[in-house]
Amino acid sequence: MQNLGQDSATKVNSGGQYTLGRSKDEFQALARAEDLQVAGGTAIVYAGTLADASVSGATGSLSLITPRDNVTPVKLEGAVRITDSATLTLGNGGRYHACRPYGCQPGQCLA
């Protein structure tokens, strides 16, 4: 499933793939997804905002890829949880910062 607009409460099951902020021909910085649940599937965020997501299961994955960082940034809001052996991939030289009030200790945060 591709999302260039806005959606809410989408669930990606095992074997499924979800793409935020990209179509075949363009990137969309205004794309937004809220309450995304990835249960063994794959979610790739190219541009836009992801708010309140959960990724779980050994085959569950979330990738944040910003091919045009200054034009189509990726923004995370709320809680993004990666559990049960799921993976988080940060790609293409973006600048990422983890917020300390949410449990990071000095030296453990992304920078």
Q: Which of 3-7, 21-25, 30-34, 89-93 has the highest mean pLDDT?
A: 30-34
The string of pLDDT tens digits covering residues 76-86 is 999 999 999 99
Domain presence at residue 15: yes
Domain presence at residue 89: yes
The string of pLDDT tens digits covering residues 32-57 is 999 999 999 999 999 899 999 999 99
- For the chain, the average pLDDT equals 82
Quote the pLDDT of residue 111. 43
Domain range for 8: 2-102
Number of domains making up the chain:
1
Quote the pLDDT of residue 92. 64
State the pTM of this model: 0.79
Domain presence at residue 44: yes
- Which two structure tokens, joined as six digits, stand for 76? 């995370």
Domain presence at residue 108: no
